[in-house]
Amino acid sequence: MAIVGVGVDVCDVRRFAASLERTPTLLGRLFLPVEVEGRSTESVAARFAAKEALAKALGAPGDLAWHDAHVLRDAGSAPYVALHGTVRARADALGVRSVHLSLSHDAGVATAFVVLEG
């Protein structure tokens, strides 16, 4: 397999929380309930960074829908990204066969790193 794309993003947790407070509908525009229920603000910010990193790895086309990439985590497993719709179409066009995701948050910063393999 070859690397098709790489993306990284950081998110200031305090700034992200202020955006959510200022615009209550933002959370629903960015995430499905299953992505954020029961998660800390730091964890949600990391998931936002993951969606941004994924978009960068895909070449940042402007037509990707936020709800077409779901950042999920099954009990006892690492987080992963489920692709649908516009995001799946772009990944398929690039020949993506697997998506690798790493999330972290510390000292008020959430970070995500995405590697796409084809």
| Per-domain residue ranges of the chain | 3-117
Q: What pLDDT is stored for residue 75 in this prediction? A: 86
Q: How far apart are CA 54 and CA 64, in angstroms?
A: 10
Three-state helix/strand/coil letters over 32-72: CHHHHCCCCHHHHHHHHHHHHHHHHHCCCCCCCCHHHEEEE
Q: How far apart are CA 102 and CA 78, in angstroms?
A: 8
CATH of domain 3-117: 3.90.470.20
Q: What pLDDT is stored for residue 103 in this prediction? A: 97
Q: What pLDDT is stored for residue 2 in this prediction? A: 96
Instruction: Give yes or no for a contact between 55 and 67, defined as CB atoms under 8 angstroms apart.
Output: no
Its pTM stands at 0.94
Q: How far apart are CA 38 and CA 63, in angstroms?
A: 30
Residues (pLDDT < 50) of the chain are none
Q: What pLDDT is stored for residue 62 in this prediction? A: 82
Q: What pLDDT is stored for residue 1 in this prediction? A: 80
